[in-house]
Structure 1
Amino acid sequence: KPEPFVRWLVNGIMVDEEYEHNTGDVIENRLTWSSVKREDLNSVLSCQAINTDLTEPREVSLVLDIHLRPLTVRILTKQLPLVADRRYDVSCESAGSRPPAVITWYKGKRQLRRVKEETRENVTVSDLSFVPTTDDDGKSITCRAENPNITGAFLESSWKIDVVFPPIVSLVLGSTLNPDDIKEGDDVYFECHVKANPPWRKLSWLHNGVLLNHNQSARIIRSNQSLVLQKVTRQSAGNYVCIATNPEGETVSNELTFRVKYAPTCRQEHILVVGASRSESVDIACEVETDPPARSFKWKFNNSGETLEVSPERFSASSNGTMSILRYTPVTEMGYGTLSCWAQNAIGMQTSPCVFQVVAAGKPFPVRNCTLSNQTSSSVEVSCQPGFDGGLPQYFLLELYSADSGVPRYNLTSPDHPTFFLANLEPDVTFRIAVFAVNSKGRSVGIVLEEVTFRDAEKRTASDGELPMSPILGMVVGTALTLLSVVLLVVVKLRRSRSDRDQDGRQLQTEKHSAPNSTSLLHLTPAGKDLGPSGVRENFGDEKDPDIIPAKFASATAEPGPAVRPLVGNGNVILRELSPPCSYSPQQAPIPHPTSLPISPHGPSGHWVSPGPPSGMEPA
């Protein structure tokens, strides 16, 4: 007593003195704070009861704590642009929340979990580590700060990211086309789908690795991201890719395999010659290029008299539909002619047939008129004239042997003409050279060039040194020449006095041994070798220029007659008589010719022949 009154003070300032009596002797004062502000945080609210100034009031105080929403949120590190598939770190800071804000990261609508968070007073800092992808281009990275005690009390900061990347390219056939139903003559188009940031600057097209340019005359049309091919052919089939380029790089699309169906065509564009003897059976293969595979074949035979269709029982077809094989046997002369083959598939019949010319054939004839030219100490060119090809395409083969070996050192082939160049040969080694003509029936008799030797330059030329001549020797030589002149004058005078008496005898001797166009043969041996039992010998001695054939043949015995005597492999050669006699330089030296062929009197001067093939070869 007396009865107290009750009041409210905020931070020492009275704010409410109205109180009321409740049941009994309880006095109550209710404080209502209609609007609590952020600055009211930590305010001291005191409730006092006072009944006299003689005593101290009784009071109870409390401190006001307020849940505060975040005041700020912001993304601290923004980089532009971002490169796809590269890791980045970004921070977000929020302040003003009580208790401290909780920060959540989002990429689009997807929450990101790789974060670190740090809190000090009412400031929260969150670090995000993420790897943008090409699909993230244009999406927003959002930092959301919210007070966990206040529902819906959050702030957000967003960053729309720009992700750059090389083009992403895919190639497809036009959506309106059926890839399994394209044939020659159709129009088609391809679509190159490109996703790129920044946008692509260059778009290229490749067909089987070859760049395709816009070419309307070739019916190749490029339009933006499409490639149009008009009236496609089988050559249009293959693998296609498109290539897109931007500042970030170049990307090649998937490889699209394009198929074009077409009627069969012959794999060989030219007529094939097939050689066969009478009653000889040959298998003739008709090969075609076709897509889809051929389902039937037909053959026809034509000669100068008639055209006949070949019965299907006479030929077969491969399982993959690309080949038919006909077994053919020419029995009579009329069995030689032309065979034609057609194939048919789902697209149509072959327009131009495969043609085979059946001819009477055998092994080719030997080459002839072989000569050496351009001869050096280690090389030579061999050139011959081709013989009859046996009715079939032929090529030519040269084999080089050592003189003492039947195994070829190496061989050369020539597809068109029997001309060969041999190089890097050892000097002072004797070789044998064999030349053959070859066709599908076999090879001809070999033409053998015996004892071909390559001399060092120092052995092929005379010495340049001059021998000193003494004065006495000069006098002797001069005297001898004078006496020889006197003797010659006497002989000439005597022969003139006997001219009339011996005229008939000389005429007969001339007709016997020096007739024009004579086919007499001189049997010689190279480098002074004996011929053997015949006793015929030409002695060249050890002269310094052994490749020069002397212009005079007086020391050799002539053996008239057109026949060529067979020789054994001793290196002997037979030289057709020359009229007038001549000599050869090393580069023009003639070479051997087979003894089995007659020597034409109209052949080239200095034409050599040899005894035939070496040991182990088919004889001429």
Structure 2
Amino acid sequence: MRCLVVQTVLITAAALTSVRGQGIPRTISDRRGGPPLQVRAVQHGTAILPCDLRPPQENDSAILVVWYKNDITPIYSYDMRPKPNEQTRHWKNPDHLNERATFKATTEPAHLNINRVEENDEGDYRCRVDFTKSPTRNSRVQLTVIVPPHKPNILDDNERTVPTVAGPYVEGGLMRLTCVVFGGRPQPVVRWWRGEMLLDSEEEASESSSGPRRNTLVVTMLTRADLHAEFTCQASNNNISQPVSASVRIEMYLRPMSVQLLVSDLAPLSAEKKYSINCMTYGSRPPAKITWYLNGKSLDNYSDTISPDTNMTMSTLNFKATLQDHKKKLTCRAENNKVHGGVDEANWELDINFVPVLRLELGSNMNPEDIEEGDDVYFECKVHANPEAYKVVWKHNGNVIQNNAKNGVFVQRYDLAFRKVNRSQAGNYTCVASNVEGDGTSNSVELKIMYKPICLPDQKLVYGVARHEEARVICRVEAYPAPHTFRWAFNNTEEMVDVPQARYKNSTRRTQSILTYRPVTEMDYGMVLCWASNTAGLQKNACMFHIIPAQKPESPYNCTLTNQTTDSLSVECTAGFDGGQQQYFFLEVFDQHTAILQANRTSKDAAFTVAGLEPGKVLKMVLYAANSKGRSKETLLEGFTLKVAEKQTGTPIPFEFTPLLGVLIGVITALVLVTLVILGALKLKSDRRAQRPGDLPVKKATAPSAEELYDTDDRNPDVVPTNKDSDYQLTGSTAGTPLAVQTTPDGQSATMPAHQINHLQGLPPTYQINEYNNYPTLPLSGEVTYAELCLARPTTLATTGMDSKLGVIVGGKPYTKEATVYACIDHSVRQPTPLGFQQQQQQQQQQQDSGLVTPGSGIISGKHHPREVVTVRTPLISTQESCV
């Protein structure tokens, strides 16, 4: 079918040619109306060539359309007669438009479209239309092809092509860009635009019509607003198509806009504290480099952080404020070295608060090495502080000095003066100033006041030495200046004899002298005396030392058990007299049942801690002291270690409260209340019957007396006193165990602490309450007995004491505290029933009333002679109370 259509078109074309050959004109005069229609198309665009298909008369129609180029070559035909297939209507010359041409017959006017117009498509086109009845119509179209220019090329100052970004240019500098355009028919017009604004520029014409077109843009004094501005070069030679263009973006170097120290209100800093000080700058391109300076000296302990858009730089300085930085200038400098003059900085004068710094000085006209008792002395305290100190305190050897004009002490804020100083005012002086930052302490200035030597306290005053043994007696003195000579003398109550200088030597410290003394006979024991001399004079009171025959040390006493656990315990005792020589203390711990040694400890002090013991053990402890002359008597003490708590196993039975159980509880509660009421009434009646006027202490409404020295618990007969210093003690026995470590019948340990007993006048210091050899009649029963002994309370007592100088016991000194009274409980007497106890009590009361037994007959005298014992026996569970 397609072959037939092509053949028909060719036949028709041959016929038309034949007609023209017969005399039909072939010039422009063949078309109707005026000159050719001018049509323009842009290269690579679409050309629309119109053709009039309207018949000249009615009842006529077009049947064939043929297009010619340059009036010679047919390039396209369209058969408008009915066809079975639309594609058979079109014919295209493959050597010319090929597939780029399409005829649109249904539009008004009809037209031939030429797509992707090429430059050689330019020329004259003729459209011939054949009608059914009317003659053929020819119309001409002149097609002009416009060749657009090439894309502009933008050059910088150095004639180098700028692809997308121009610069960078410096803020305040000059920018020159040149746009070069090649090609284009007709010649294009070149212009510069910034956004939608046309810029003034200088266009240069080319030397030839086919040469390039140039346009140069010059911008002076670039500002921050020109950053990233887009400049576009356009080239256009028609109004059909869009002009060709090229754009560049401006990159610039910018100065820092601002530098700020982020310090809140420039608050003062505190010395010796660390701070993080922030400095911020923005607006610099590239980001500014921040440096820190303190009074022009570079700092390096900082770090910088740049924002993601590189517009802001934050620098953090780690700064430790010091006193020396006060009033110095801290500088944060931001610099962009890409820009001339691209430097900005922020300054801060530091205000640093610091603890007062003090300098204490003795008066400027005083010689610190030539101050004697009776001179006037003054000090100056120089204070440097920020803020100013609100208080200044003066101290002498750490103690605050108060103003006392009466005694010649004058305290002012920054000055201290003494009138007629004495030896007690010598020592170290400091001043302390306070402000909001704290307290500042000055240097210590020692005030040296010349005075005669005096004996140092806490020296060893008693030396025990055997015959023909040597004792090194050390005499220590305090003096200023140091003593230059010492003198020794011996006194045995008959005469005082100077000791030859060869017998002693002075220490290199010049504050002590050592006497080597050897007693040969009994007359060589006695007192040695020591004097020292210095520039101020001879020592007024000699230092006295006692030479006694060496002996064994005394036993430790007042031993107390502390800190008992399952595997350890501690023992603390009071050391007895050391016999005049160095003594050591020993502790041996035995299992009371097996007598096996459990631990052995040695100490320079009378205090021990024993660990690693077995739990639940009853222990026997032996304590004694020893020196080079032997060991003391043993002090016995009993104790125990706690038992380990037993674990309870089994599943607990849930408790259920039933109505029957509630009734039972109510009945039991009522019975208990009734019983308590009855017992209370009986108790009140019994107390009234047992109370006798003679047994009650009477407190007189006078000045404080010995009665007020008693502990408040002593006034309550139902309270067992536990104070170590109370005026009477309770003792008990369970197979020889002290009351502090007894076990009660319920299996629990007694909580009462071990009581200590003080020595009475004349009683040997080695006598201990725990030395059970003194009580041979104590039974070894498991019964615990309690008793209370009430005696008349004396108001005065002659007590014993130790002479600190002589090292001997002296007595007869009056003392207002009441005496300690000791009583012994005789366990050899037993009463089978409480009734027997009441009879015995009544019998003892009758004997006492008759004068056979006195209340004080149970007091132990200083000698171990037989004693009359007041025995009180009370069953463990008894409602009776006794007071003998």
TM-score range, shorter chain: 0.3 to 0.5
Q: Which has the higher contact order (CA 8 A, sep 6+)?
A: 1
